[in-house]
């Protein structure tokens, strides 16, 4: 499967189930807003009631006011409308709306996280492929030396020690190749997981362009993170939502005013009951005493709002640290591009000289073996550095909120 980095990101955003999970959660929070807003609208319900009783009797227990009960069959509708609760429903609705907006930021954070892990998996495959290439070249180079030493040994020009050391180097290179092959398969499996594709797929990936050098100072990146990081924006929305909820809990002690209307038709009943009925009334509900329940709910909500505020402050400090750390890592990875190239050039020169000295019989094979090890180490470091820098830039973009 041939892919570019941009194509892999698009596939991950489309297929990864974590995105859909976050979207469904956001949709659920939107419905909670509608649930609270429904209190503004009237409710209308229909009733059908059939009663068999000692006609004209009164209920004698269970309430202070007991109505007369008649045999009847009645139908009707009841209308209830909240006229005012002094802002409690409004604050609850605003709180739910803010939480819904915060949950949408959770969707954006999930996307950023998926992109980060997709980039890491994509670059991991490229890194493993490069390391496998180094291992293959190492096996070939050391096998050539081993063949040369074997021929010289057979001609009595080299000792059995030289032959043994050369064969050990070949075996070590083959072990390195085996590990590199295994790492490549594991990296491809990880990329398939991030793209939500079946396992066992082999990838033909295109190397991305090397990003430019990071900014000289991280302050502007920190400012960007303070404004764009989805998790921080979500925390701020949740903080405002908690404050609105605390205000709504404070308003529990206020009265609520409601309108109730009823009308209907009585097809069969005792003679004392008219065939139709209708009534409308206004009820004012005034809380007086409930054992301190409303006071406790108010303090609980205020405490949660205070805790949410501290949580925002803690996340801001954490983001500042993470951005600085990511910036330092990216700058270090960028510097390692030149340093590892210099190391590789010097290791190649050292290997060429050691090979020439060994061919002339001026040095033992141990010197050549050591130069081979240093060159292989330098090649591996250069291969890692090439992709590590791109990966660190991806992490820096995530920490600063640059990804959607």
**pLDDT tops 80 at residue 63:** no
pLDDT for 164: 92
Q: Where are the alpha helices (DSSP H) in 229-364?
A: 230-250, 293-359
pLDDT for 65: 67
Pull the structure tokens for residue 373: 């090890």
Is there a domain that residue 211 lies in? yes
Task: Please list, in sequence order, all residues whose beta carbon lies within 8 angstroms of the beta carbon of residue 398, skipping any fewer than 6 positions away.
Answer: 112, 113, 115, 116, 326
Is there a domain that residue 57 lies in? no
Q: Which domain holds residue 394?
A: 2-46+86-256+292-399
Task: Check: CB of residue 71 under 8 Å from CB of residue 53.
Answer: yes
Is there a domain that residue 118 lies in? yes
pLDDT for 377: 94
CATH number at residue 29: 1.20.1600.10
pLDDT for 303: 97
Pairing of strands 276-285, 256-269: antiparallel
Is there a domain that residue 284 lies in? no
Per-residue pLDDT reduced to its tens digit, 24-45:
999 999 999 999 999 999 999 9
Is the CA virtual torsion 291, 297, 303, 306 positive or negative? Answer: negative
Is there a domain that residue 171 lies in? yes
Tally the domains of the chain: 1
Is there a domain that residue 69 lies in? no
Per-residue pLDDT reduced to its tens digit, 355-404:
999 888 888 888 999 999 999 999 999 999 989 999 999 999 999 998 75
**pLDDT tops 80 at residue 301:** yes
Percent residues over pLDDT 90 in the chain = 80
Residue 110 buriedness (CB in 10 A; 0-12 / 13-18 / 19+): buried
Average pLDDT value for the chain: 92
Distances (CA, A) of 206 to 168, 233, 302: 35, 35, 54
Is there a domain that residue 287 lies in? no
Per-residue pLDDT reduced to its tens digit, 161-198:
889 999 999 999 999 999 999 999 999 999 999 999 98
Is there a domain that residue 72 lies in? no
DSSP state of 159: -
């Amino acid at each position: 499967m041939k892919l570019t980095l941009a194509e892999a990101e698009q596939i991950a955003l489309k297929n990864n189930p974590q995105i859909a999970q976050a979207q469904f959660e956001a949709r659920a929070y939107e419905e909670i807003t509608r649930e609270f807003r429904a209190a503004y609208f009237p409710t209308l319900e229909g009733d059908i009631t059939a009663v068999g009783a000692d006609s004209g009797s009164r209920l004698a227990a269970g309430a202070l006011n007991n109505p007369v009960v008649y045999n009847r069959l009645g139908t009707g509708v009841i209308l209830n409308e909240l006229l005012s609760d002094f802002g409690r429903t409004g604050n609850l609705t605003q709180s739910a709306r803010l939480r819904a907006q915060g949950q949408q930021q959770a969707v954006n954070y999930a996307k950023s996280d998926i992109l980060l892990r997709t980039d890491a998996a994509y670059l991991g495959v490229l890194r493993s492929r490069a390391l496998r290439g180094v291992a293959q070249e190492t096996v070939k180079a050391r096998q050539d030396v081993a063949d040369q030493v074997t021929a010289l040994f057979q001609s009595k020009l080299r000792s059995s020690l030289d032959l043994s050391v050369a064969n050990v180097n070949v075996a070590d290179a083959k072990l390195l190749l085996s590990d590199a092959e295994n790492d490549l398969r594991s990296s491809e499996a990880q990329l398939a997981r991030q793209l939500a594709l079946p396992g066992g797929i082999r990838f033909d990936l295109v190397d991305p362009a090397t990003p430019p050098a990071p900014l000289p100072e991280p302050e502007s990146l920190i400012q960007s993170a303070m404004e764009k990081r989805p998790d921080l924006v979500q925390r701020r929305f949740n903080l405002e939502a908690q404050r609105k909820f605390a205000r709504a809990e404070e308003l529990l002690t206020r009265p609520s005013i409601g309108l109730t209307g009823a009308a209907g038709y009585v097809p069969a009943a005792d003679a004392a009951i008219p065939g139709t009925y209708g009534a409308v009334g206004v009820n004012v509900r005034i809380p007086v005493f409930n054992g301190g329940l409303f006071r406790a709910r108010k303090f609980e909500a205020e405490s949660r709002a205070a805790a949410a505020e501290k949580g925002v402050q803690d996340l801001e400090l954490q983001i500042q640290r993470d951005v600085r750390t990511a910036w330092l890592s990216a700058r270090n990875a960028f510097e390692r591009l030149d340093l590892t190239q210099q190391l590789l050039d010097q290791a190649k020169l050292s290997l060429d000289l050691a090979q020439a000295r060994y061919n002339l019989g001026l040095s033992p094979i141990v010197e050549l073996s050591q130069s081979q090890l240093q060159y292989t180490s330098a090649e591996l470091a250069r291969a890692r550095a090439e992709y590590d820098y791109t990966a660190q830039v991806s992490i820096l973009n995530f920490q600063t909120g640059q990804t959607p």
